[in-house]
Amino acid sequence: MDKIELSVVTLTKNSALIIEDCLKSVAGWVGEIIIVDDNSTDKTLDIVRRYTDKIYIKKWEREGQHRNFAYSLAKFDYVLSLDSDERVTPELRDEIIAILKDGPKYAGYNIPHRNFIGDYWIRYGGWYPNAKLKMFNRHKFYYEPEAEYHPRAFLDGKTYTLKSDIIHYAYRDFQNLFSKLNHQTDFEAKKWLRDKRKMNFRLCMVKAVSRFIKFYFVKKGRKDGFIGFMMALVSSAYQLMTYAKYWELRKKQDEGSFSG
């Protein structure tokens, strides 16, 4: 198979258990694979070296800044941003090859995500198709560099949504889900504080309850049974946990200002 002019960019951090299947899904048909690793201490780099020699070591500080740096390393105009827990399906591979060979007509391409917890495909509650901007012209795209987590994306041009899926093994199990939730809300709380977000307990409760209603009832998360209930509950807990951490950060900041 001829290789197409596409740069795959993947960020890693102790990804030894999942990175090989990710790289296998793009090896042999993309022009280059770029890895930006956050000082892994497991076998991640040993595995990665089987697929590419374009490996860069950089400590993760802010997600937007980190991703922008990684995309700047690409040789080709179009980048496929592929996380280590994601895999390109054969159908998506063929769709991407056809687009690049014909000449891309859009600045960015949204790709549906088939999200899993363990071996369960989460079909409802807004989890599918859940298309995200994953392939783009790197000269026309960047992330908000200041954001610690979930940065805003900026694209100069139009987008098109592909038909085929990325497989996303979002969570190994509930323990992994709760661990990621704790990690993500750390960054979100710092973002709220930095942005001087207007947030109080009453508003937080309203948002938490409305999130559960939205994902469990409106978006039919209940059709995923117990897993659907848990995913809606976690979405609600995201607001509550972030607010609790934000409240503590703001309290410390106010106490520091007072003592100063």
- Each residue of 189-241: pLDDT tens digit? 998 998 898 899 999 999 999 999 999 999 999 999 999 999 999 999 999 99
State mean pLDDT over 158-175.
Answer: 98
Residue 83 confidence (pLDDT) = 98
Residue 188 confidence (pLDDT) = 92
| CB distance 250 to 193 below 8 Å | yes
pLDDT of 258 strictly over 60: no
Residue 1 confidence (pLDDT) = 75
Q: What CA–CA distances, in Å, run from 62 to 7, 115, 123, 234?
A: 22, 25, 31, 24
Residue 172 confidence (pLDDT) = 96
Count CB-CB contacts under 10 A for residue 186: 16
Residue 256 confidence (pLDDT) = 77
Residue 147 confidence (pLDDT) = 78
Which residues are CB-contacts of 89 (< 8 A; sequence separation ≥ 6)?
Answer: 25, 164, 165, 166, 167
